[in-house]
Amino acid sequence: MELGAGREDTQVRPYQGQVFEDLRAQCLRWGDLYRDDIFPASLWSLGRAKGSPIQLSGIQWKRPKEICSNPLFISENATRTDIVQGALGDCWLLSCLGCLTLKKKLIHKVLSIPQSFTKNYAGIFHFQFWWQGSWTDVVVDDRLPVKNDHLVFLHSGERNEFWSALLEKAYAKLHGSYEALHGGITTDAMVDLTSGVCTTISMEKPPDNLHKTMKQALRQAALVTVHIQVKGNTAQEAALPNGLLVGHSYSVTGIDKFRLTNGKIVHLVRLRNPWGKVEWNGPWSDGSKDWETVSRADKDRMALVEIEDGEFWMEFQDLEQHFDDVSICYLSPVIVRDKKMKRDVTWTTTTHEGSWIPGVNAGGCTNHKETYWTNPQFMVHLEAGNDSTCFLTVALMQKRHIRALQSESLYIGFSIYRTIDSIKQLTRAMLQWNAPTKSSGTYMKQRQVNGNFELPPGDYIIIPTTFDPDKAASFILRVFTANFNQTREIDNESHIDGKEVIKERATTRYTQCSPAKTVDPLYTLDGRPAPTPLDDDEEELMKMFRKLAREDNKITEAEISAILNKKLRKLSRSETMSVGTCGDFIGLYDVNNSKAITFPQLKNLWKIVRKLLDVFDEADRDNSGALASYELRPTLEKLGIQLSNELYKNVVLMYKDSNNEVDFESFVCCVLHIKTMFRILQSVPKHSGNVVLGADKFLHLLLRAKPLSCLHSFELADE
């Protein structure tokens, strides 16, 4: 199967809010040349980390018009000879650029053609990269690092051509500095330049059809590079006796074959060194006697140029012997011809952005059975059309903002499960007893991992994860299919079940609790009978209340705390309810701001606390006295509370502690807070003619009303 990408997102966002047209118009209006304050002409933009590869002494910043008399953005067309590596070890980027110059439409998009040093010139240029999940327009001024009037970093083979140098500057701006580009991963650059999806093939066990795969990839406008890894004590970019460079990436610019006079068929591949020099000196290299057996017509067809330009041919078997891996980036969109499909296919895609949040949904890999199920889950429905097999590609990318922090990147991967229920989330029990149908394989410390799969039609759930739990990161999940593509994140609709365990009537906005009454108005407001006589536990509670109550037959937050804590101690519990928390509890009852509650309200509150204590104990399986925050969701569901992913995330972040735990006091506050939110929501007229917020957004608004007493400030009128 060949990999393709889906429909291209044409929307472009300005990086750091810098809009090229506005900035250029402003400079032209003022008659000034642009100076970029975000990426200034300074040592900061070069990079000043310890052990920096950049020799800073003698570097100046000059505009192209100060370097030569007739600067050009592009001389005729952007070609691979315009890419000559400078003082940075960024061959991982430049090898991709060399491939990109062969794709006219895409290179024009990246270079934002047309641009020039004549018409509307204001010292400002811009470039487009697919950055963090969307096409991004990056603005730079044209001040470039020079020494002795020669560009220090990437430059063209022609002294007056500057598109490649300016593009490298824009890419350095995205990563924080030029120094941040020193050393990187080829597939990262491929994705940033194309929005495509990459696959890497190891030469340790190359597939039998590698030659055919690479040739077909080039025919489909894919980017192809090869790389030699550093081994042992060999220095980075050290030259081997055969002319190849260790730790270096090369562009694959052509694949061809021909028949020799002796009848032998030779398969050759053309490579280019981003240095623009230093070439392979083995069989079929420039000047090799092997070419004497090739006809002039074949030489012309293969564009053989026997000069030191960094480009050379080599036999395919030598490529497999001397290089360690091949990276292929398929562009978007791509039409694929696959024998198994027996037809042409346009790949379509869906894109989802998400995040792993410690204590919420950063569950780690399958090794962590207690938390794995909490990871985000995405359902994909596959339809085979006229074929019996569905072709699926999944690409998972973690967002990284500065390459210098690559050491902080996470090991990421994903698993795919077959499911017969396309609605519900896979639970802990389901995942403990079922192995994934497919996966991304070994977890990789890379920005992007992906996999190509052939699956029967049906519903599948994709679970993207980090290797270790409680690792924070944002991610982008892209799903490519050859037929119908329906992918969505599995989520809940926020609601409270009518059969909820705790059915307290803790709030009312329509009555005042009077000390003269002997019945609980909360139980009589809607016509229900007065409560039954007190049991022993309630009698004890009544004695405590009478001992501390004020003249108005109410108690304040300090007395509530004392009573609840004494009751908990009698149950041999170490949990406590602080004075501040009890002040919040008062807010659930106290509609007249008296800052105190009656005995019936205290009795109701203790009833809630007692029931929630049983629920808490059942959930606290390790008897630690606290719930791991990931245990909060199933515990709330047992209470009949369903929360959407976003609302649940915010609830956890509000009530968990620094150890990602929820103690009993916080648990009680959490439950009462949520239930009060729903009570307010349910009190809003359902058929209002002036609805401003949806239910979930309204619940988010109520969630921010902490302490709980703030909930009384919400009007129960139209939204």
* 91 in catalytic set: yes
Q: Is residue 197 within a helix (H) or strand (E), and if so which, with residue range?
A: strand 197-202
Task: Report the alpha-carbon distance of residue 246 to residue 295 in Å, rounded.
Answer: 33
Catalytic residue among 126, 198, 227, 273: 273
| pLDDT for the residue 690 | 42
Nearby residues of 423 by Cβ (< 8 Å), 6 or more positions away: 379, 490
With contact defined as beta carbons under 8 Å apart, do 477 and 395 qualify? Answer: yes
Are 629 and 702 in the same domain? Answer: yes
End of a domain among 159, 194, 229?
Answer: 194
Q: Would residue 270 count as lying in a domain?
A: yes
Q: Is residue 509 in some structural domain?
A: no
Specify the DSSP class assigned to residue 239. B
| 669 flagged as catalytic | no
Q: Are residues 234 and 290 in the same domain?
A: yes
At a CB cut-off of 8 Å and minimum separation 6, what does 260 contact? Answer: 266, 293, 294
Domain boundary among 174, 194, 214: 194
Whether 367 maps to a domain, the answer reads yes
pLDDT of residue 142: 97
Same domain membership, residue 544 and residue 471: no
User: Facing residues of 477 across strands?
Assistant: 352, 396
Give the Cα separation of 153 and 40 in Å (integer): 16
The predicted pLDDT at position 709 comes to: 54
Q: Is 129 inside any structural domain?
A: yes
Whichever domain contains 647, its CATH number is: 1.10.238.10
- For residue 504, being part of any structural domain is answered with no
User: Same domain for 289 and 150?
Assistant: no
- Neighbouring CB atoms inside 10 A of 199's CB total 19
Q: What is the CATH number of the domain that holds 227?
A: 3.90.70.10
Residues whose CB falls within 8 Å of the CB of residue 696, separated by 6 or more in sequence, listed in order: 493, 494, 644, 646, 647
pLDDT at 104: 87
Q: String of b and e for 449-482 (b: at least 16 CB within 10 Å)?
A: bbbbbebeebbbbbbbbbbebbbebbbbbbbbbb
Cα 110 to Cα 174: distance, rounded to the nearest angstrom: 14
Give me the residues paired with residue 98 across strands. none
Q: Spot the catalytic one: 91, 99, 329, 669.
A: 91
pTM of the model: 0.81
With respect to residue 692, please indicate whether it lies within any of the assigned structural domains.
yes
Residue 633 counted as domain residue: yes
Residues in a beta bridge with 449: 396
Looking at residue 217, what DSSP letter applies?
A: H
* Other CB atoms within 10 Å distance of the CB of residue 50: 4
Residue 552 DSSP symbol: T
Does the residue 515 lie in any domain?
A: no
Average pLDDT of adjacent 10-residue blocks, the chain of 719 residues: 42 94 97 96 81 76 95 89 89 90 89 94 97 93 94 93 96 93 89 88 87 87 90 78 91 86 85 88 89 81 75 93 92 48 63 93 94 94 75 88 59 92 79 90 89 88 96 92 79 75 43 37 44 78 91 90 93 90 79 79 90 92 90 91 92 93 93 84 59 67 65 42
294 shares its domain with 357: no
Helix (H) / strand (E) containing 8:
none
In this structure, the answer to whether residues 24 and 173 fall within a common structural domain is yes
Catalytic entry in 248, 390, 582, 604 = 248
129's tokens: 């990269």
563, 631: one domain:
yes
The torsion angle over the Cα atoms of residues 502, 507, 510 and 515, rounded to 10 degrees, is 110
- Residue 331, CA distances (Å) to 83, 103, 190, 224, 399 in order: 21, 10, 9, 11, 20
Whether 304 and 421 map to the same domain: the answer is no
Outline where 552-619 has alpha helix (H): 557-570, 579-589, 599-619
532 and 574 part of one domain = yes
Q: How many domains are contained in the chain?
A: 4
Q: Is 267 a catalytic residue?
A: no
Helix (H) or strand (E) holding 370: none
Together in a domain, 351 and 326: no
SS3 at position 379: strand
Q: Which residues does 482 contact at the CB level (< 8 Å), separation at least 6? A: 4, 336, 341, 345, 347, 390, 391
Domain ranges, residue 433: 347-490
Q: What residue has token string 């081994």?
A: 231
CA angle at 218 for the pair 112 and 261, rounded to the nearest 5°: 135
pLDDT computed for residue 673 by the predictor: 87
For residue 490, what are the contacts with CB-CB under 8 A and spacing of at least 6?
377, 378, 379, 423, 424, 425, 461
Residues 125 and 35 in one domain: yes
Helix axes 579-589, 557-570, angle to 10 degrees: 110
Indicate whether 238 and 105 sit together in one domain. no
Which one of 490, 512, 546 terminates a domain? 490
